[in-house]
Structure 1
Amino acid sequence: MNKVYQFLNLHFGEEAKDKVLENVTSSISFRGANVWILACAIAVASVGLNVNSTAVIIGAMLISPLMGPIVGAGFALAIYDFDLLKKSIKNLAIATVVSLFVSFLYFLLSPFKEAQSELLARTAPNIYDVLIAFFGGLAGVIALTRVEKGNPIPGVAIATALMPPLCTAGYGLAIGNFSYFGGALYLYTINCFFICISTFLIVKLLKYPKVKFVDSAREKRITRTITTLILVILIPSFYLAYQLLQEKKYSQNVDAFLQEEFINKGYTLIYEKTSFNSRPKKIELAFLDKKFANTEIEDLNKKLTDYGITNTDLVIRQDSTDLKRDILAEISKQSRNVSEKDVTIQNLRTELSTYTFNDAELIKEINILFPELAPYSIGKQLVVVNPDSSFHQNIITYSAQKPLNDNTTLKLQKWLENKLGTKSVRIVRAN
């Protein structure tokens, strides 16, 4: 039992308590360089969210000095240093306002205001975000109290993700979407509060000395206040997690319904829109050539309950004019959201096409008209004349035992020039 205790003992490798407290206190203040670093980090994170770049967002989280006052508040609560607590809350408020202002200004000026997936991910927090903040905070504070800080500190900055919710809140303000603003600010509050609580618990566990004597009645009031705040923050997160689970189940049921009732029967689905948050919920569909009678639509609506889909209206769009407009709008929206990866792939394909030869019909004709050429290879090659001049040339390299005579070679060359519409053709016999 003693070995297990030694194995799990948090006091092993612990930094001196006064030195840890000194480091925590020094990282709380937001003045001068810290404000500028925070503003730059927020700007970087905003750009990352705007262009949907995870790597840029992670970089911004590593730059951010936001953790300082949050950890400071947790320490202050645990050791009953109310002056330090006031200072931590004041500096966290300053940091929050600066961050919101910078992100609001960026998104207000940015011409790209489309809500990307990285932005949307921060608008509906749930219980899983609570767990991430709490356990991430635990890891961070444990690392902070060690002699050797190690790798957890940057990892905690990434995992607890304080920057992206603030930027998303700024985005919500800039576009006037207070649902995004409220959801993102709630996620930010969750992260701050549960990092603070995890700090409080570790500091208590490590038995840091109290700065001020607090009577038992006041200590109980502080504990009750913390417990109440935990419940106030937890309850909405549980509700949002429940909503997320319900939406996932609903989506799976809709997919099963579509598969069984339409796709398996050979109907070509060309339009699908599911409105989970409308009352009642709505499934809108359209098909390539299948027309449904009103009685068929009524029967399909009745079948929804067989798949666990309740309080839902099934609407089959059969008005070609309105449907065409909606489909074109959806295509236009998707084309605006083409990712950087897709653009890169298309550019590579275009570049690759300049070096590949893929004309099966031409190869078939060569085999008929010039059977003596086989075996041969045909392709495009970059010919460099000098460092500033180059061109692509179509080359046929053949390995026949008997070389083509001059007349056949000339005939093949003229024929290829005519077929390919270029004078850049060369015929080479491999040695």
Structure 2
Amino acid sequence: MSGLLDYLQLHQGEESKSKVMESVRSQISFRGANLWILACAIFIASVGLNVNSTAVIIGAMLISPLMGPIVGTGFALGTYDFTLLRKSINNLLIATFVSLLVSTAYFYLSPFKEVQSELLSRTSPTIYDVLIAFFGGLVGVIAITRVEKGNPIPGVAIATALMPPICTAGYGLATGNMSYFLGAFYLYSINCFFICIATFFVVKFLKYPSALVDSKYEKRIKYGISILIVIMIVPSFYLAYNLFNQKKFTKSAEEFIQKEFDNNGYTVIYKKINYNTTPKSIDLAFLSKKFTDAEILSYNKMLAKDGIFGAKLTIRQNNTDLKSEILSEINKNDTNISEKDIALTKIRQELDNYKITDSTLLKEINILYPTIGNVSYGKIEQYPQTDSAKLQFVLVYTGQNIDENRIKTWLRERLHEKNVVLIKETEK
């Protein structure tokens, strides 16, 4: 048993407590360079959320100095250092205000205000976000207290994700969407709070010296922390429960559609499942099948039998309304052209430069020059002794008594090509 405890021992490789506290204090302040770095990181994260780029968001999280005052607050609570606590909270409030200001200004001025998936995922925190923040905070503070810091710190910055939610809160303010603002700011608060609590537990476990003598204050702080933990966790449990019910409803609705319609050969061309309406809704449209009111009523009764309660099935059979819905969805998709689509378009454009699309060219050559044999032609790049390449038309042929000057002149006029090269291939 003692051998196992040695493996779990946190005191091995621990940095001296005075050095750790000095390092923590030095990273709390948000003045000068730290404030500029934060503002730039917020701007980068906002751009990443705006264009739905995960890589850009990760980059912003890596350069963000937001962890400093949060960890400082955890150390201050763990050592009951109220001077350090006041300084940490003040700097965290400054950092939060600057972050909200920069992100709100960016999204207010940005012409693109569509809600991307990266933005949307930061508006409904759940208990899983609490767990990520807590265990991410544990890893971060354990790394801070080591002599060899190792590489967990960048991972903690990414996992705990402080930047995206505060930027999403700025988006909510800029667009006047208070539900987005409140959801994202709650997620940001969860991350800050549970990183701080994780730091508090590690500091207590490693027995950092207390700056407080009176045990009454110590008990009050512990009670206060316990109450705050409950206050922060309870809404996230509710949101997690709501998310579970939403996924369960969506899965049940999909299974119902599969069983009652797809398996009977009815082609579904439009499907929209909405959990957040009252009542919950399932909207469908079909390629050719038309349903009577009695059949639709019968399917609605089947929903409850399949465990889908409080939901209404609507089958769209009005072509005008249906067309407008489908066109709306297509337009939404068109606004989100991926990098892959852009790259494919560029490749197609480059390939078009080399293609000879005229299908009658070969027939005309055989008619005008009956003595010509096998013919191959295409465009290739010529590299003269300059910095640029030129495209030229090349025709490879076999045959006898071919007037090359004449065929060159004809090809220049026929194809509107200045550079035409003829190559006679030796017959085998």
1:240 positional shift:
1.3
CA distance in 1, matches of 2:332, 2:99: 30
Say if 2:404 is the partner of 1:404: no
- Which segment is superposed worse, 387-396 or 336-345? 387-396
SS at match of 1:204: helix
Q: Give the Cα separation in 2 of the matches to 1:260 and 1:421.
A: 61
Match of 2:226 in 1: 227
Counterpart CA distance in 2 for 1:351 and 1:264 is: 45
Deviates more, 1:236-245 or 1:337-346: 337-346
Deviation, 1:339, is 2.2
8 Å CA contact 1:379–1:396 kept in 2: the answer is: yes
Q: CA deviation at 1:268?
A: 3.2
Secondary structure of the equivalent of 1:148?
coil
Contact 1:20–1:144 (CA under 8 A) maintained in structure 2: yes
1:159, 1:337 → 2: CA distance? Answer: 27
Give 1:26 deviation, angstroms: 1.6
CA contact (8 A) 1:38 1:65 kept: yes
Measure how far apart 1:264 and its partner are. 3.5
Q: Does 1:281 align with 2:280?
A: yes
Q: Which amino acid aligns with 1:106?
A: Y
Query: Alpha-carbon deviation of 1:397?
Result: 5.0
Gaps of 5+ in 2: none
Aligned length, in residue pairs: 423
Does the Cα contact within 8 Å between 1:256 and 1:307 map onto a contact in 2?
no
Letter aligned with residue 15 of structure 1: E
Secondary structure of 1:273 counterpart: strand
- Maintained 8 Å contact 2:122/2:183: yes
Alpha-carbon separation, structure 1, partners of 2:390 and 2:138: 62
State the 1:386 CA deviation: 6.6
**Shift of the alpha carbon at 1:136?**
0.7
Find the aligned partners of 1:207 and 1:125 in 2 and give their Cα distance.
Answer: 33
**Partner residue of 1:243?**
242
Q: 1:387 to 1:180 in 2, by over 3 A?
A: same
Higher mean displacement: 148-157 or 134-143 = 148-157
Structure 1 length as normaliser, TM-score? 0.88
Flag the 1:324–1:423 CA change in 2: closer, same or farther, 3 A: farther
User: In the superposition, relative to structure 1, how do residues 313 and 397 fare at CA in structure 2: closer, same or farther (>3 Å)?
Assistant: farther
Q: One-letter code of the match for 1:381?
A: I
Return the letter of the residue paired with 1:150: G
Q: Distance in 2 between matches of 1:46 and 1:283?
A: 34
Partners of 2:124 and 2:184 within 8 A in 1: yes
8 Å CA contact 1:80–1:214 kept in 2: the answer is: no
Q: How do 1:314-325 and structure 2 match up within 5 A?
A: 314-325=313-324
Q: Which amino acid aligns with 2:309?
A: T
1:14 aligned counterpart, secondary structure: coil
Q: Which residue of 1 aligns with 2:293?
A: 294
Q: Compute the TM-score of the two structures, normalised by the length of structure 2.
A: 0.88
% identical equivalent positions: 58
Shift in CA distance, 414/237, structure 1 to aligned 2, threshold 3 Å: farther
What is aligned with 1:180?
Answer: 180
Range with bigger deviation, 159-168 or 54-63: 54-63
Superposed displacement of residue 251, structure 1: 1.9
Q: Matches of 1:156 and 1:81 in 2, distance apart?
A: 25
Query: How much does 1:276 deviate?
Result: 1.2
Aligned positions of 1:4-153 closer than 5 A: 4-153=4-153
Q: CA deviation at 1:255?
A: 2.2
Task: Label 1:419 to 1:281 Cα distance change in 2 as closer, same or farther (>3 A).
Answer: farther
Query: Is 1:330 equivalent to 2:329 in the alignment?
Result: yes
The structural deviation recorded for 1:395 is 4.7
Q: How far apart in 2 are the matches of 1:324 and 1:231? A: 49
- Listed as ranges, the matches of 1:258-407 within 5 Å are 258-355=257-354, 379-384=378-383, 387=386, 392-393=391-392, 395=394, 397=396, 403-406=398-401
How has the CA–CA distance of structure 1 residues 267 and 19 changed in structure 2, closer, same or farther, with 3 Å as cutoff? same
Distance 2:165 2:354 in 1: 46
Find the aligned partners of 2:238 and 2:141 in 1 and give their Cα distance.
29
In structure 2, the CA distance between the partners of 1:407 and 1:120, relative to structure 1 (3 Å rule), is: same
Q: Supply the distance in 2 between the matched residues of 1:272 and 1:395 (Cα, whole angstroms).
A: 54
**What is the Cα deviation at residue 127 of structure 1?**
1.1
Partner residue of 2:154?
A: 154
The change in CA–CA distance for 1:287 and 1:382 in structure 2 (over 3 A counts) is farther
Superposition deviation, residue 239 in structure 1: 1.5
Instruction: Give the stretch that moved more between structures: 219-228 or 143-152.
Output: 219-228
* Partner Cα distance (1:259, 1:395) in 2: 57
RMSD: 3.1
- Residues 136 and 358 (structure 1), Cα distance of their counterparts in 2 relative to 1, 3 Å cut: farther
Distance 1:412 1:235, change over 3 A: farther
